[in-house]
Structures are given as C-alpha cells and as structure tokens.
C-alpha cells in the first residue's frame, strides 16, 4: 500500500466513532431489530476514493467484486461486471455506472486496525447479548449514482456505515418465509447463492432506512434487504461479526435440508434467543464424520 493507507494515517480511529446515545440505541435493539445509528467516520483517510482504489488493487482477486450499477432489485444469478479494472471502477465511480465491494479488508493491516477499533467500541454491548464476537470482517462498498445492490441476505451481524453520498436500504423481516423461503435459507447454507427471488408485492413488508454521511444501519443476521444509491457516488463501510447463535442457526438450516431431502417438512430454526442446539450439534457431528 502507498502512503495513503499507511498505519500512521489511523489517528482518526483513536477518536470515539459511536457516540453514547448510539451505543445505547444499539444495546436496546441488538440483535434482532434493524435500526439507524450515528457515527463519526466521515473523513477517515483510509476511506477516500484513492485509498480505496489502491486497496482494491492490493487485495487478492477473490476479495474483489464489481458489477454494473443499473441492476433490477432482483437478479437471476451473478450480475454482470463493468469491463473496467477494480482500481478504475472506483476512481471513475462518478461515471462508471457500477457498484464495487472490497471484501475482507482486514487482510491489509491498516484496515484490520480500523475494524478492530470500531468493533471494540461496541464489544461490550454485543457480548452481553450474543457472546463472543467470532469471525470479524470488514467490507467496503463503492457505488455510482443510482446504483442498486440487489435483494439478498447475509449470515453475519452487520453495521453498514455511510461515509459519502446517500442511499436507502430496505430491510425485510428476518426468519419470515414470506421474504426468503426456508428452502432458500437451506440452499444458501449448503453452498447456494445469497441472491433472493424478488416479487413486487414484497415491497409492502420492507422498512426503508435512509442513510446520509455520518449515519449507519444495523442489519440482523439473514434479514433480506436491497440497497438503492442516491444521486451522488457512495462509499459505505460494513463491519460484521458472527456469533455462536448465528453459526447454530446456519447449522440447523443445513440439518433441515437433510431432513427435507428425506421427504420431511422440518420446522424452521428459531430466531434469537432460541439456540437451535440440537440440530446444530447434529450437523456438526455429521461434519466431523465426513458426511456433509
């Protein structure tokens, strides 16, 4: 990395990013209620366009994804790439009609330190509810004006911090088969895609959360959502973590797929604080025996 991402530029991360009132709101709502938060990360030097272009060029290819921005809310399979390199996609975000995601930014030491600092501020609120933070990861999204991130879900607890530009994330109830059928969950946890089938009638059940620079949104585990960017280029930082609860829910879904393959109609895993231990342990035993 060049001077733009040298660890010396991390002085801003020593400041408190999440104010006390945000931490109190997070503690009251975590882990099941999506809600808007505030942050003080807007001017961090690691999140400038040039620093992010350099980060994209430094990350391995498997950690970079970039697609056209003029996508529908629902897509069938993986979207289409932009035809530009990741560096040029980001540098030309004003006009490249794209969205890009830089995955596992913690592979670069300066960004690992930033992620650790941010999660450290809210660690006590997290561990009080869902225990130890596991598999902490960071993702950065750089999007052109009006770009759409299609309808999907994610297995992590997630806070998306808006740094530049605006967007609206529309979040749907987690664990409700109306918005993501149980079979879709089971397929995802056994290697299937995270993109979800969209029907316009689903929109009535969504909660739109508008984000401006300095605002953030918490998204529960496996809560379906899509994102529509505003009229200016956007930069967002997603900080994520897993919990034993999230892993148990995933393993229970995997076990349900085996039951469904046997012609049964298994009950969906319970949402937090249900622990889903029996099915999760069954999957883990099968995994250790090499049967999954």
Whether residue 144 sits in one domain with residue 280: no
Count of the separate structural domains present in the chain? 2
> Do 185 and 258 fall within a single domain?
no
Residue-level pLDDT at 13: 43
Confidence grade of residue 139 (pLDDT, cut at 50, 70, 90): very high
Indicate the pLDDT class of residue 67, thresholds 50, 70 and 90.
confident
- How many other β-carbons are positioned within 10 Å of the β-carbon of residue 135? 12
**DSSP state, residue 45:** G
Instruction: Please indicate, yes or no, whether residues 251 and 194 belong to a single structural domain of this protein.
Output: no
Please check whether residue 273 lies inside any domain of the structure.
Answer: yes
Examine the domain organization and report whether 239 and 254 are in the same domain.
no
Q: Assess whether 218 and 272 both reside in one domain.
A: no
How far CA 76 is from CA of 50, 151, 152, 206, 249, in Å, comes to: 32, 11, 11, 21, 26
Does residue 122 form part of some domain? Answer: yes
Query: Within 13 A of 210's CA, how many CA atoms are on the CB side?
Result: 2
The distance of Cα 31 from the centroid of its chain, to the nearest Å, equals: 14
Comparing C-alpha atoms, which of 153, 165, 184, 198 is closest to residue 34?
Answer: 153
Helix pair 244-261, 277-288: axis angle to 10 deg: 80
Tell whether 42 and 132 lie within a shared domain. yes
Mean pLDDT of 111-131: 98
pLDDT band at residue 123, thresholds of 50, 70 and 90?
very high
Where does residue 248 rank: exposed (0-12), middle (13-18), buried (19+ CB within 10 A)?
Answer: buried
Same-domain pairing of 114 and 188: yes
How far, in Å, CA of 245 to CA of 3, rounded? 40
User: Is position 7 within any domain?
Assistant: no
Burial level of 100, CB count in 10 A (0-12/13-18/19+)?
buried
Residue 80 has pLDDT above 60, yes or no: no
pLDDT beyond 50 at 9: no
Other residues' Cβ atoms within 10 Å of the Cβ of residue 11: 10
Whether 196 and 232 map to the same domain: the answer is: yes
In terms of domains, do 83 and 157 share one?
yes
Range of the domain at 270: 247-289
Within a domain: 6: no
Please tell me whether residues 223 and 266 are part of one structural domain: no
The mean pLDDT value for 175-179 works out to 97
Specify the range with the lowest mean pLDDT, choosing from 88-102, 149-163, 184-198: 88-102
Q: Is residue 153 part of a domain?
A: yes
Q: Same structural domain for residues 215 and 285? A: no
pLDDT of amino acid 7: 42
Of the CA atoms within 13 Å of residue 176, those in its CB half-sphere come to 14
Does position 56 have pLDDT exceeding 70, yes or no? yes
User: Residue 202: inside a domain, yes or no?
Assistant: yes
Tell me which residue has tokens 């999230």.
246
CA atoms within 13 A on the CB side of 196: 26
Domain final residue pick, 223, 243, 263: 243
- Residue 175 belongs to a domain with what CATH number? 2.60.120.650
pTM score: 0.89
* Cβ 174 vs Cβ 223: under 8 Å: yes
Pick the residue with more confidence: 236 or 74?
Answer: 236
Residues 147 and 27 in one domain: yes
Mean pLDDT check: name the lowest of 30-44, 86-100, 154-168, 251-265: 86-100
Residues near 205 by beta carbon (within 8 Å), at least 6 away in sequence:
172, 173, 176, 178, 179
Asked whether residue 13 is domain-assigned, the answer is no
> 68 pLDDT exceeds 60?
yes
Establish if 10 belongs to a structural domain. no
pLDDT value, residue 161: 98
């Amino acid at each position: 990395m060049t001077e733009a991402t040298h660890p010396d530029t991390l002085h801003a991360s020593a400041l408190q990013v999440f104010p006390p009132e945000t931490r109190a709101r997070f503690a009251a709502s975590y882990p099941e209620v999506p809600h808007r938060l505030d942050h003080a990360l807007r001017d961090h030097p690691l999140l400038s366009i040039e620093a992010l272009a350099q980060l994209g060029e430094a990350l391995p290819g498997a950690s970079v994804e970039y697609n056209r921005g003029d996508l529908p809310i629902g897509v069938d399979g993986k979207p289409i790439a932009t035809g530009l390199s990741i560096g040029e996609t980001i540098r030309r975000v004003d006009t490249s009609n794209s969205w890009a995601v830089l995955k596992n930014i913690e592979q670069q030491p300066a960004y690992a330190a930033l992620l650790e600092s941010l999660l450290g501020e809210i660690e006590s609120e997290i561990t009080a509810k869902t225990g130890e933070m596991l598999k902490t990861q960071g993702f950065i999204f750089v999007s052109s004006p009006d770009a759409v991130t299609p309808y999907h879900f994610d297995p992590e607890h997630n806070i998306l911090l808006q740094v530049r530009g605006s967007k609206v994330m529309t979040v749907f109830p987690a664990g409700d088969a109306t918005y993501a059928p149980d079979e879709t969950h089971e397929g995802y946890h056994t290697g299937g895609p995270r993109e979800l089938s969209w029907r316009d009638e689903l929109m009535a059940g969504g909660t739109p959360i508008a984000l401006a620079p300095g605002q953030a949104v918490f998204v529960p585990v496996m809560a379906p959502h899509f994102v529509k960017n505003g009229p200016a280029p956007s930069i967002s930082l997603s900080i994520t973590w897993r919990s034993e609860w999230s892993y148990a829910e995933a393993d229970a879904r995997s076990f349900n797929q085996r039951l469904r393959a046997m012609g049964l109609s298994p009950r969906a895993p319970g949402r937090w604080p249900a622990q889903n231990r029996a099915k999760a342990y069954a999957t883990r035993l099968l995994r250790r025996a090499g049967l999954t």
